[in-house]
Amino acid sequence: MPSPTFVISGLKLINALLRFLGRNGTNAVAISIFLGLFLPGIAEALRILLTPAIFILLTLSFIRVDNTAIAQQLTHPLPAIAAVLWQMLLLPLLATLICLTIGLDQIDLGVLTALFMVSAAPPVMSTPIFIWMFGLNGALALTISTLALIIAPFSTALFAYLLLPDTLQVAPLSLATNLAMFLIGSAGLGRLLYYVLGAARINQATDHINGINCVVLFIFAIAAMDGVTDFALTAPFKATALFIGVFAIAGVQLLITFLIFYPAGKQTAFIAAYGTGSRNLGLMVAALGGTIPELAWLFFAFAQFPIYLLPWILRPVAMHIGKTETSAP
């Protein structure tokens, strides 16, 4: 039986590690996605943990939901509502119209499923955490993410009906139900923990919660890399094209959104753009129940690279925006 001194030392080490990860989240998350590539055997074993990891990440996000901050943000609701309408309705509708116009729905089921996931999914729930880390308006990011999750079951069902063929054997109503139950469960647990622990204690444990978030993201990254290493070794040119493609899609969504929302201010534009470029594809995979084609799975896996690297890549931009808006008269 371990001695009390050993147990106390271990708890102190875990406490220090979580705090370190929480304060260096952008670097830790960026490194973890590459580590997943070098652990293909573990990736296959951890794939079963993909859905639980998504549930935990959502729960951690809902723990951080500050009702007062959202209420204050909704006193001036236009930026948040405009961002949600763009992210969850207008942009997916535009992508759907382009897809149907050029006949992409007749090309490949995997491409179609990937397009559906990347355009219809809500923003990743880690978005407010990183926006807070950047020193920007985390309350706005939180409000956008929360509203997007509320309408996600309805909007994804609509675009599943428009885009996904019957051969995928996914009923829009079933998809909406799965997504709603997933979100209700994680939100319920998160809010229960929020009221049990209390806002003050949660604020004090911000670094630790961020650290736990990084650990779960690391597990998620390894699980998402299942099959990617083998694919990259056997089809390097296809893997390279897919790698470039996911960054291009994220970049285009980011740039277009930033330009559209620029009149509302650089900070608002950046927050809206960040959420648009970082879609919660894992939530879509969980809601689809693992029925996605192989190409769509590979797209989902490769799409984790921009999601995991964007906090690190965009941090200097975010810091510059924060400084310029702070120094502005």
Structural domains in the chain, sorted by start: 17-323 (1.20.1530.20)
Query: Which of these, 196, 197, 192, 84, lies nearest to 141 by C-alpha position?
Result: 84
Helix (H, G, I), strand (E, B) or coil at 107: coil
Q: Which amino acid is at 92?
A: P
Looking at residue 253, its pLDDT comes to 92
Considering 143-157, 266-280, 309-323, the range whose residues carry the highest mean pLDDT is 266-280
- Per-residue pLDDT for 221 more than 60? yes
What length is written for the chain? 329
Question: Rounded to whole angstroms, how far apart are CA atoms 199 and 259?
Answer: 36
Q: Give me the helix-helix angle, 109-120 and 294-327, nearest 10°.
A: 30
In percent, how much of the chain has pLDDT > 70? 86
Looking at residue 6, its pLDDT comes to 57
Query: Which of these, 19, 36, 20, lies nearest to 309 by C-alpha position?
Result: 36
Q: Does residue 18 or residue 197 have the better pLDDT?
A: 197
Residue 134, judged by CB atoms within 10 A of its CB (0-12, 13-18, 19+), counts as: buried
- The mean pLDDT of 58-75, rounded to a whole number, is 79
Q: Does residue 170 or residue 72 have the better pLDDT?
A: 72
Token pair listed for 123: 């923003």
Question: Rounded to whole angstroms, how far apart are CA atoms 263 and 261?
Answer: 6
Looking at residue 295, its pLDDT comes to 84
Sorting pLDDT into bands at 50, 70 and 90, what band is 10? low
Considering 45-59, 62-76, 308-322, the range whose residues carry the highest mean pLDDT is 308-322
Sorting pLDDT into bands at 50, 70 and 90, what band is 255? very high
- Per-residue pLDDT for 104 more than 70? no
Looking at residue 65, its pLDDT comes to 73
Query: Which of these, 224, 196, 223, 252, lies nearest to 62 by C-alpha position?
Result: 196
- Per-residue pLDDT for 22 more than 80? no
Question: Rounded to whole angstroms, how far apart are CA atoms 262 and 138?
Answer: 18
Q: Does residue 196 or residue 325 have the better pLDDT?
A: 196
Looking at residue 200, its pLDDT comes to 82
Q: Which amino acid is at 277?
A: G
- Per-residue pLDDT for 81 more than 80? yes
Residues contacting residue 262 through CB under 8 Å, at least 6 positions apart: 269
Token pair listed for 182: 């997933």
